[in-house]
Amino acid sequence: MNSKSGQSSHSRRDISFQTLDEVLSDLETVSSDDYAVIGGLTKGQIFRHLADSFRSSIDGFPSDLKPPWIARKIIGPLMKNRIIHNKMKPGFQLPKSAKNYHPDREDFPAEESLQELKSQIKRFQNEPGSAKHPFFGKLTPEEWTLLHLRHAELHLSFLVQTDQS
């Protein structure tokens, strides 16, 4: 994992994960009280959203998370490789119809959500994703791993070290 140190608490971390074990290691770091969230979500919401994503890649996505036909058949497949091989940009909004998948749907206890996320990552490592992605369609286990790494980089970049004076 690469990460810039000494960043102010007002900018996101620049992180890059190569493996899911690096994500697990980073979770140990950012779960401490030395890390705070910038942006609109809580630690619990971030951890739960990522856990939901891992779980859905194995068990399937909620039925209300169904993008329009053009997104599923044209836009998603065209963007898949760019998204799984490059950093995700913040600001993407899920459709309102996917209310059960929105990270800010409710607050979640951070510690409980962290344990759920770790559990889902370990489950994914033993039982790689095979569910159909709502935007990208069928993904290989390797593509699922890359997508999870990029997704974790995005959301965990909002957890920054607090100023230690």
Task: Answer yes or no: is 135 within a domain.
Answer: yes
Task: Answer yes or no: is 53 within a domain.
Answer: yes
Task: Answer yes or no: is 12 within a domain.
Answer: no
How many whole angstroms separate alpha carbon 34 and alpha carbon 156? 14
User: What is the extent of the structural domain holding 63?
Assistant: 44-156
The structural domain count of the chain equals 1
Task: Answer yes or no: is 165 within a domain.
Answer: no
- Tell me, what's the pLDDT at 158? 96
- Tell me, what's the pLDDT at 54? 97
Q: Is 24 left (phi over 0), alpha (psi -120 to 50) or beta?
A: alpha
How many whole angstroms separate alpha carbon 3 and alpha carbon 62? 33
Task: Answer yes or no: is 11 within a domain.
Answer: no
Give CA separation, 73 vs 14, 85, 113, 138, in Å: 32, 20, 33, 12
Per-residue pLDDT of the chain (165 residues; tens, 9 = 90+): 544 333 444 699 999 999 999 999 999 999 999 999 998 899 999 999 999 999 999 999 887 777 778 877 888 888 898 999 999 888 877 666 666 666 666 788 999 999 999 999 999 999 988 899 988 999 999 999 999 999 999 999 999 998 754
Task: Answer yes or no: is 60 within a domain.
Answer: yes
Task: Answer yes or no: is 4 within a domain.
Answer: no
Task: Answer yes or no: is 129 within a domain.
Answer: yes
HSE-CB for 151 with a 13 A CA cutoff: 21
How many whole angstroms separate alpha carbon 147 and alpha carbon 126? 17
How many whole angstroms separate alpha carbon 131 and alpha carbon 157? 26
Contact 151, 53 (CB under 8 A): yes
The label of the residue with tokens 């620049």 reads 14
- Tell me, what's the pLDDT at 78? 85
Structure tokens at 113: 């959500």
